Structures are given as structure tokens and as C-alpha cells.
Amino acid sequence: MTDEPGREPEQRLPARRPPSEPLPVERFSAPPTAHAFELTPERAAGIVRQSASARWVGLLASIVVILFIVIYYFYELGAPLGLSTARLDQQKDVQQVTAIERGYNLYQANCANCHGKQGQGGIGPVLNDDSKLYLHLSPSYLRTVLTVGGRYVCGNAKSLMPIWSNAGSPPGPLNYVQINELIAFIRSDSGREYEVRDPELNEPIIDPATGKAETFPGWYDKDWKPSPDATPVPACYLGDGAGNGGTATPPPDAPVLEVAAMGIAYDVKELEASANTTFVIHFENKDDSIPHDVDIRLSDGTVVVDSPLVTTIGDANYVIDGLDPGTYTFICSVHPIPAMTGTLTVK
Ligand code: HEC
Ligand SMILES: [Cu+2]
């Protein structure tokens, strides 16, 4: 509505009515029963019934409130006997899983070409190994190696492994969060499967053949304990004998077994030796800049012979004093993978 300027806006009050005759006042009267004070038995019973049901309502309401408090308490803090986990812990777990799944993608993009898709080793040493994850590859050690670079591992100034963290000098390509995600992935629970996620969309990658999300297992077995007589993992993966292979001169008449390594694989799977007789393993490394060796272990992992590494193309004679009869494993300590594992039978 538009008001013309200068004019008072119309007052919208109810229109006045002419005063009317006062209404005749009606008077009510109650029947005499309403004035009676005594209760009939039926009414008395009715009142008792009413108040009883009011108490019931009150009781039920209290029960509902108490149940709510109890249920909410357990919902927040977790039910007893491990029936459910606390909501806060659930949230933490979700965040941890997210970090691991991102760490997986970072690892595949930056590390897998040297350390292997499953961390089995390659140009770089094995990472996915119980005995290494147990103490050696601790979160703080991983952080240091990724900040200082590969030279921290064995003091090799020309290490192939660059600095990864942008906190290093010179700064690497990965930020603090990404380093944490890598560490979370390397130390992820080996008893669990995690989803492979598209790095860009952050959605699970569905395998068209099965219709299921692709998964990967964690690496770190929290329950793993080294056997009591196991040798601890050396600080430097090249071991104490870091060098260029065996130096011992074999006795002239000792039998010689030939083993070669190429493409991170041995060329033989089976070796045979006579019991209690000194023999020689002539080992030839054909992989440029990839260290290998031939250690001899029992089936439970106990090291019987710890041979020095041949760190690049070259060869070595490992002289082995007579062994007891039995079946042994010969294995590369840098790459304890099936391709670098074989059986030595001593008869
Ligand atoms: C160019 C190859 C290369 C790439 C890529 C690479 N590394 Fe390495 N890494 C090495 C080498 C070689 C060593 C051994 C250090 C040395 O003596 O030079 C090593 C050592 C390590 C070690 C120490 C292992 C031990 O036994 O102490 C860790 C941990 C490691 N790398 C993690 C990573 C992670 C995580 C990434 C990805 C962000 C990565 N590396 C990428 C080559 C590589
Ligand atoms: Cu090897």
C-alpha cells in the first residue's frame, strides 16, 4: 500500500460500537450433590486408580531416563566385555585406517620401484619383514631415515635413497602429514586388510571381476617375537661385514657350489653338500648396485652362516665349515623373498 506523503497513516483500530444494554447476568446453581463432601465408594476407588496409574507413568518415565543414561554411557565409552568399542576409539581407528590407506598410495607412487610393491626389497632393502619391523623400523627411525635420507642407514654418502621429508635439507617432496601416513602404512596391522583407494577421488577401487573393493594387507605383526637365540637386526642392513664379499681362500680340494643372483633372484633353488666337510659357495652378483649374499639358516630362521654381502656386480667365495646333516635354507639377507631363497641339503 502506498501512503500519500503528508497524510497520517490510517489508524487501524476496531470500529467503535455504540454502547449496548448490559447483558443479563446468568446465575448457575449446582445440584445439592455437588456440595456433598463425602465420597461415594465408586469415586474413591476411581481416585485411587487414577493416582496409581499416575505413579506408573512416573515410574516408567524414570526407567526410560535411567535406561537412556546407561545406554548412552556405554555408547560413548564402550560396552563391557568388549561388546563394543568406545566412540572416541572408533573415530581414532577410522582416522588411522584413512592414514594407512593414503600411506599405501604414497608408498606405491614413491617407494615401490626401489623397495618392491610389497616391501620385499629390490634396489633398496626389504622393509616388510617381521624381524625388521619388530624393533629396527620403529616410527622414529622411519621418520629419521625419511628426513635425513638413505645415508643415515649405513653412512653411505652416495646412497641411492633421497631425502623425502620437506623438513630435510635439502627439503624433500613430502610434507609432515604424508610422512606420518607412510609410517602408518609401513607399520599397519598385518592381521587386517585395508582398502585400496583412488588417490584422487578417495573412493575404494572396485575390482570389476569380483565386484569387491581391492584390498591390501598390513605389514606389521604386533604379536611377532624373535626366537630367543635370533641375532638382532643390525643397525645397517648391510650387516657388520659390509664389504665386498668373502675373502677367505678356500682349501684347494674343497667342493665348490655355484650360486648367482640376477634380477633379485638366485639362479638355483637346490644345493647339496656332504656332511662335516668344508665346502665353498662361489657367489656371483650380477645386479649392478644391488647388494646380495647367501646366508645359511635353519628352517626356524636361526642363522647358521652369516655371509658378507656382495654390494654390486662382483663375486665372492664363501667358505663354509662342515655342517651337520640336515635341511637348511640358503637365503639373501637383503631380500628374504622366495626368489632369493633355496634349500641346501647336507647329507
Ligand atoms: C631410488 C631408490 C629408492 C627409493 C625410491 C626409495 N628408497 Fe628407501 N632405500 C633405498 C636404498 C638404496 C636404501 C639403503 C640405504 C643405503 O644404504 O643407501 C634405502 C633405505 C630405506 C630405509 C631403511 C631400511 C633399513 O633397513 O634400515 C627405509 C625405511 C626406506 N628406505 C624407506 C623408503 C620409503 C618409505 C620410500 C618412499 C617414500 C623409499 N624408501 C624410497 C632406495 C630407495
Ligand atoms: Cu638379494
Report the pLDDT value the prediction gives residue 311, as an integer from 0 to 100. Answer: 83
Mutate to test the pocket of ligand 1, among 105, 111, 134, 161 (most ligand atoms within 8 A of CB): 161
Which residue is closest in CA terms to ligand 1's atom 17? 154
- Beta carbons of 153 and 145 less than 8 angstroms apart: yes
Alpha carbons 38 and 35: distance in angstroms, whole number:
9
Q: Dmax over Cα atoms in the chain, in whole Å? A: 144
Question: By mean pLDDT, which of 239-248, 256-265, 319-328, 334-343 is the weakest?
Answer: 239-248
Neighbours of 225 (CB within 10 A): 10
Ligand nearest to the CA of 265: 2
One domain for residues 206 and 290: no
For the CA of 111, the closest atom of ligand 1 is 37
Indicate whether residue 153 lines ligand 1 (CB < 6 A): yes
> What is the per-residue pLDDT across 221-231, written as a single tens digit (0 to 9) for each?
999 888 887 77
* CATH label of the domain that carries residue 277: 2.60.40.420
Is 300 among the domain residues?
Answer: yes
Within a domain: residue 69?
A: no
Instruction: Assess if residue 26 is contained within a domain.
Output: no
* Residue 291: count of CB within 10 angstroms of its CB: 25
Long-range contacts of 195-203 (CB under 8 A, 24+ apart): 195/101, 196/101, 196/104, 196/105, 197/101, 197/102, 197/105, 199/102, 199/105, 199/109
**Radius of gyration, alpha carbons of the chain:** 40
Is the beta carbon of 312 within 6 A of some atom in ligand 1? Answer: no
Q: How far is the CA of 239 from the centre of ligand 2 (A)?
A: 13
Looking at the predicted structure, is the pLDDT value of residue 197 above 60? yes
Tell me, in angstroms, the distance from the centre of ligand 2 to residue 334's CA: 5
Give 297-325 pLDDT, tens digit per residue. 988 878 888 888 888 888 888 888 889 99
Do 185 and 262 lie in one domain? The reply is no
- Is residue 191 located within the same domain as residue 116? yes
User: Which ligand has an atom closest to residue 153 CA?
Assistant: 1
Cα–Cα nearest to 185, from 163, 162, 217: 217
> Which of 217, 247, 264 lies at the terminal end of a domain, its last residue?
217
Q: What is the mean pLDDT of the chain?
A: 85
The helices-and-strands tally (H runs, E runs) of the chain is: 7, 10
Q: Which of 153, 158, 179, 186 is the best mutation target for the ligand 1 pocket, counting ligand atoms within 8 Å of the beta carbon and taking the most?
A: 153
213 with 328, same domain? no
pLDDT(335) > 90: no
CATH classification of the domain holding 192? 1.10.760.10
Pick the most confident of 171-185, 251-265, 324-338.
171-185
Whether residue 152 is found in the same domain as residue 270: no
- The number of the ligand 1 atom at minimal distance from the alpha carbon of 142 is 29
Residue 47 lies in a domain: no
Residue 326's domain spans which residues?
A: 256-346
Nearest to 280 by CA among 305, 243, 261, 298: 305
Could you tell me the sign of the dihedral formed by the alpha carbons of 300, 305, 306, 307, in that order? negative
- CA 188 from centroid of its chain's CA atoms: 3
As for how many domains the chain has, the answer is: 2
